[in-house]
Amino acid sequence: MVSFHCASAMSAFSCSLFVVASLFCGAYFISSGFFTKGYSEVSSSSINIGNLVVKFRDCQDGEVINMLQSSKSATCKVRCRPPGSEALPQGIIVKTSNLEMRPLWSDTVKPGNLGPSANLLAIAVGIKQKEIVDRIIKKFPARDFVVMLFHYDGVVDEWRDLEWSDQAIHLSAVNQTKWWFAKRFLHPDIVAEYKYIFLWDEDLGVDFEKLCTSLYLSIIEDEGLEISQPALDPVKSDVHHQITARKRNSRLHRRIYKFKGSGRCDSHSTAPPCIGWVEMMAPVFSRAAWRCAWYMIQNDLIHAWGLDMQLGYCAQGDRMKNVGVVDAQYIVHLGLPTLGGRRNFT
């Protein structure tokens, strides 16, 4: 019995390479007469080739590996394909999508506004926070960001007068939190083209010219932060966890030192929230970290309590290195009672 295991982080391409490589080893069996002609599919998870049962499991995102065995030669073609697409000709399959809007009538296919390193800002909003949200979004230049608004109060039309409104994607579902929206509308295959995903609450102050999103992006890229957040101005913010407070004269920090109280943090600490931790009001995920985190969002998750402590699983390696709080670019957490955020419920 041979098992192929396509680890979840592999792309379909590397997945298929992996299986092809495995089959080169398999050629040994073929030449020794282990195979007989043809194969029969036993189920979506295993294929019989002569006496050999090839079992498939955990192919990326439920993909099934299709094996096309040529009976004449020992060469074979193996591909990872999304379930349901097996009957389609090669090359016609588009596995992922994006949120880019397309012109209705256009003779030529125009490239979109966004470059290959486009990012996504998704933010849960209510009309009461219109002014704050307007200020936040103006910090996210359209050339670098696609903007998606989750309207939890059902009010969409009253945003139309803002100049960026027609370029933004508006989703409306009454009384749902940003985690509900994110699970349903930010599937990793839909947002696969975005380098970083900002999943923010609306009660964030950015009005004092202290946040430059392009500098923020260059810092997290440079420092290899897979999960990050901008630090909170400790004077003006509603700070709940000391690790999120801005440190002066610092580019970013990954750990805190705290000797008072119950939650002691020192240079030996290896666990969140002393090190490698961000709060859920303004997280920024790399593409890979989001692909991981999306799976952790339970369908009944509302406030994301507890999710923050689990995010280290998605750090793409060492959470003590890959998770951090950016001090050089910081925001104010206003702590307003909003539905998108969590204050409403505490």
Ligand X SMILES: *[C@@H]1O[C@H](CO)[C@@H](O)[C@H](O)[C@H]1NC(C)=O
CB of 302 to ligand X, least distance (A): 12
CB of 344 to ligand X, least distance (A): 8
Residue 231: which of 210, 246, 248, 249 has the closest Cα? 246
CB of 175 to ligand X, least distance (A): 4
Q: Tell me, residue by residue from 123 to 162, as one string, x for binding to ligand X by CB under 6 A and - for no binding.
A: ----------------------------------------
Q: Three-class SS of residue 151?
A: strand
- Based on the shown chain and the rule CB under 6 A, indicate whether residue 174 belongs to the binding site for ligand X: yes
CB of 338 to ligand X, least distance (A): 12
CA–CA dist 228, 222 (Å, integer): 13
Nearest CB to ligand X, comparing residues 208 and 345: 345
HSE-up of residue 259 (Cα within 13 Å, Cβ side): 1
Nearest CB to ligand X, comparing residues 219 and 339: 339
CB of 173 to ligand X, least distance (A): 10
Number of residues in contact with ligand X, rule: CB under 6 A? Answer: 2
Nearest CB to ligand X, comparing residues 174 and 302: 174
Nearest CB to ligand X, comparing residues 175 and 218: 175
Apex 156 CA angle, 153 and 158, nearest 5: 105
Ramachandran category for residue 273: left, alpha or beta (phi over 0 → left; psi -120 to 50 → alpha): alpha
Restricting to residues 62-101, name those near ligand X by CB under 6 A.
none
CA–CA dist 226, 321 (Å, integer): 9
Nearest CB to ligand X, comparing residues 117 and 175: 175
Residue with nearest beta carbon to ligand X: 175
- Based on the shown chain and the rule CB under 6 A, indicate whether residue 11 belongs to the binding site for ligand X: no
- Based on the shown chain and the rule CB under 6 A, indicate whether residue 302 belongs to the binding site for ligand X: no
CA–CA dist 248, 262 (Å, integer): 25
Q: Three-class SS of residue 86?
A: coil
Q: 341 with 124: CB under 8 angstroms? A: yes
Residue 52: which of 63, 65, 38, 66 has the closest Cα? 38
CA–CA dist 196, 162 (Å, integer): 25
Q: Tell me, residue by residue from 200 to 239, as one string, x for binding to ligand X by CB under 6 A and - for no binding.
A: ----------------------------------------
Nearest CB to ligand X, comparing residues 101 and 302: 302
Q: Which of 175, 270, 310, 346 binds ligand X (CB under 6 A)?
A: 175
CB of 150 to ligand X, least distance (A): 14
Alpha helix (H) ranges present in the chain? Answer: 12-31, 130-137, 178-185, 213-223, 287-296, 307-310, 319-322
CA–CA dist 188, 186 (Å, integer): 6
CB of 219 to ligand X, least distance (A): 38
Give residues in contact with ligand X (CB under 6 A).
174-175
